[in-house]
Structure 1
Amino acid sequence: MDSVDLEVLKAAAQWSESGYFVTLGTVVRTWGSAPRPVGSTLAIREDGRLVGSVSGGCVEDDLVERIRSGEWPQDLPQTTSYGVSAEEAHRFGLPCGGTLQLVLEPVRAHTRVPELLAAIGQYRLVVRELDMATGEVRIVPGHRTPSLEFDGQRLITSHGPRHRLVVIGAGQLSRYVASMATALDYHVIVCEPRAEYADEWNVPNTELTREMPDDLIIRLQLDSYSAVVTLTHDPKLDDMALLEALKSPAFYIGAIGSRVNNAKRRERLSLFDLSAAEISRLHGPVGLHLGARTPAEIAVAILAEMTAIKNGIAVRQTFSADAPNMADDASSCTV
């Protein structure tokens, strides 16, 4: 599945190539309780069809009407604001006091959307710089933060997979985790040196490697935008990855298994050159305690915990004394 940002860019490129006039809209500033964050995008076709969102719907309706009536930027980008007054906030369905500012950009050849899509498809992080005065676009190698900058003269946006997820193992549970993670805009790298599993891997928009887990973790040079989840149930593979990952700045490191097995795993890790503080970073049993049992439910629990930590939300496991442990068989795990 595509992220919303990617869906918007794909629609803009396809419609433009088919001969339609297309406008890209990007939220560049918000004040108060705006319904969508800075960086939210949408593409609107001349006949009113749209993909993406910049509000709860009412702003989109007004934009469609304006574009249908010819009030779109024909040649150069322009800005527009919604919710400046209490009356407008009510009219456009914005929360009380909410205000947002958009950049509306006509899609032309020099917009370079196909080039941007090609870079994203190659898992490259790139920065797109839009000159508001000329409409010219420049695409350069990217950085991870900030995701958007706007000073009234230039709109600078970061595109591509802003976070990486390394999944150790290519079993059934890994398929659900990888699919959900790609929808959350992760670049998913699946490590599976076992041929019987690697040969069957076919999850779209993921990268498969047959390297040994420790070699992969060292090669990737994990940063604070990286996460690692070990899902093989094989200590020889999972522990190899954890020994390197726990020494890295990765924001999330999790391992599947029961509480008993994770306690044993921590004992094994303590025999190597890992400090107590490094071992304490391990999330195991992996994921939030949701009572999850099926692979899909477990994947939800894992991604929920990862999302909370990525967004700076403290999580605390609340396993009760009689709660079932996470079994060694992923099909019957409880998270």
Structure 2
Amino acid sequence: MKTVDQLVFEAAYSHLEQGNYGFLCTIVSTVGASPRPLGSLLFLGNDGEVTGSLSGGCIEDDLLERLLGNEPTSHAPEIIEYGVTPEENERFGLPCGGRMQVMVECLMPGSQQQVDLLCLAGALAGRRGVRRIVDLEQGGWQIDDIDHCETLKLSDSLLQQDFGPRYQLLLVGANELARCIAELALAMDYRVLVCDPREERLQQWHCLGADTVCQMPDDAVREHATDPYSIVITLTHDPRIDDMALMEALQSSTLFYVGALGSQRTSDKRRQRLLQLELNESQIARLHAPVGLPIGSKSAMEIAVAVMAELTQCRAKAKRAAAERQSS
């Protein structure tokens, strides 16, 4: 499955490739509560085609009314503000006091932006970070590869927006807990890959939208978990399987998160084994075990909720840390 951003870029490129023009709309500022996060994208084709989302639909309808039917006269971006009055909040479905600014860019066929759209979509398809810098006076773009994403920046003259690949969750062990985690993760826009070297287990395991690989766990980690947006969690309770994946994953300082299922006692024993397998203490310190927030979960779905809650917490912390680095 593709990220929403990738779908927007591909739809915009396809539309321009057919000789049509359209509008790329980006949430560039929010105050208070917002129905969609900062940086959310929407592409609006001149034929009414809509890809992406900025709200529950009311803002999209307003943009359709504003933009369609009029030939574009300027290529400079325009910023439209929503939620200025209580009446607008009610009309556009914004929470009380919520405000947002949407930047609208006209994209024309044969332009440099058409080429840049393909670059942006290709970077996300290849799991690479990419930055788009927009000249707010002239409308031109600059596209750069990046190692880490920063929060969106808006000044009087420039917009800087970073795009990272979709978070990828590699689950080791095709069991009921893996199915529960996969269902939640897919609903939260993760890519899910389930690895198990036992072919009969994989044949019995099904979750629509998740991919499976019948590989040794260390091989799966080496092949599929290779970037800062990758997560590895072991679920089999079999050290012969789990430890192979953990040894490989913990030797990489790149991965976003490495976790293992088990009680505190099981986790303590696992750490001792990993020390004997020649991992050092700093590598083992990266292991989240027991995996998941301690919410008293017992059933498979409850444990899955705890796991996804911890991943959400870790992502929020990483986002705050990036924002603090950016402001310092």
- Global fold match (TM > 0.5): yes
Shift of residue 305, structure 1, vs aligned partner: 3.2
Report the counterpart of residue 10 of structure 2 in structure 1. Answer: 10
CA distance in 1, matches of 2:282, 2:123: 41
Residues 1:183 and 1:6: Cα distance change in structure 2 (over 3 Å) = farther
Equivalent position to 1:256, from 261, 267, 291: 261
Q: Secondary structure at the match of 1:311?
A: helix
CA distance in 2, matches of 1:120, 1:277: 29
> Is structure 2 residue 235 aligned with structure 1 residue 242?
no
> Is structure 2 residue 304 aligned with structure 1 residue 284?
no
CA contact (8 A) 1:73 1:104 kept: no
Q: Secondary structure at the match of 2:55?
A: coil
Unaligned segments of structure 2, at least 5 residues: 319-328
More displaced stretch, 239-248 vs 274-283: 274-283
> Is structure 2 residue 27 aligned with structure 1 residue 22?
no
Percent identical among aligned pairs is 38
Shift of residue 300, structure 1, vs aligned partner: 5.7
Report the counterpart of residue 213 of structure 1 in structure 2. Answer: 218
Q: Secondary structure at the match of 2:23?
A: strand
Report the counterpart of residue 231 of structure 1 in structure 2. Answer: 235
CA deviation profile, 1:298-317 (whole Å, cap 9, x unmatched): 6565434322332249xxxx
Alignment of 1:1-335 (within 5 A): 1-70=1-70, 75-108=75-108, 109=110, 110-111=112-113, 112-161=116-165, 163-168=167-172, 181=185, 184=188, 186=190, 213=218, 216=221, 223=228, 225-243=229-247, 245-246=249-250, 248=253, 250-257=255-262, 261-262=266-267, 264-269=269-274, 271=276, 273-275=279-281, 278=284, 281-284=287-290, 292-293=299-300, 302-312=307-317
Shift of residue 261, structure 1, vs aligned partner: 4.9
CA contact (8 A) 1:3 1:184 kept: no
CA distance in 2, matches of 1:83, 1:264: 55
CA RMSD of aligned residues (A): 4.2
Residue 237 of structure 1 aligns with an amino acid whose one-letter code is I
More displaced stretch, 56-65 vs 161-170: 161-170
Residues 1:97 and 1:279: Cα distance change in structure 2 (over 3 Å) = same
Shift of residue 286, structure 1, vs aligned partner: 5.2
Residue 308 of structure 1 aligns with an amino acid whose one-letter code is Q
CA distance in 2, matches of 1:282, 1:31: 35
Write 1 or 2 for the structure with the bigger share of helix: 2
Shift of residue 46, structure 1, vs aligned partner: 2.3
Residues 1:117 and 1:176: Cα distance change in structure 2 (over 3 Å) = farther
Unaligned segments of structure 1, at least 5 residues: 314-335
Shift of residue 66, structure 1, vs aligned partner: 0.8
CA contact (8 A) 2:177 2:300 kept: no
CA deviation profile, 1:168-224 (whole Å, cap 9, x unmatched): 45778657756865665556676666788899999979796957628956997765x
Q: What TM-score, normalized by structure 2, do the two folds share?
A: 0.72
Q: What TM-score, normalized by structure 1, do the two folds share?
A: 0.71
CA contact (8 A) 2:225 2:231 kept: no
Q: Secondary structure at the match of 2:121?
A: helix
What is the number of equivalent residue pairs in this alignment?
Answer: 310
Residues 1:95 and 1:144: Cα distance change in structure 2 (over 3 Å) = same
Residues 1:207 and 1:145: Cα distance change in structure 2 (over 3 Å) = farther
CA deviation profile, 1:134-175 (whole Å, cap 9, x unmatched): 332232212322142222322222224164544445778657
Residues 1:63 and 1:289: Cα distance change in structure 2 (over 3 Å) = farther
CA distance in 1, matches of 2:224, 2:93: 49
CA contact (8 A) 1:214 1:243 kept: no
CA distance in 2, matches of 1:194, 1:23: 49
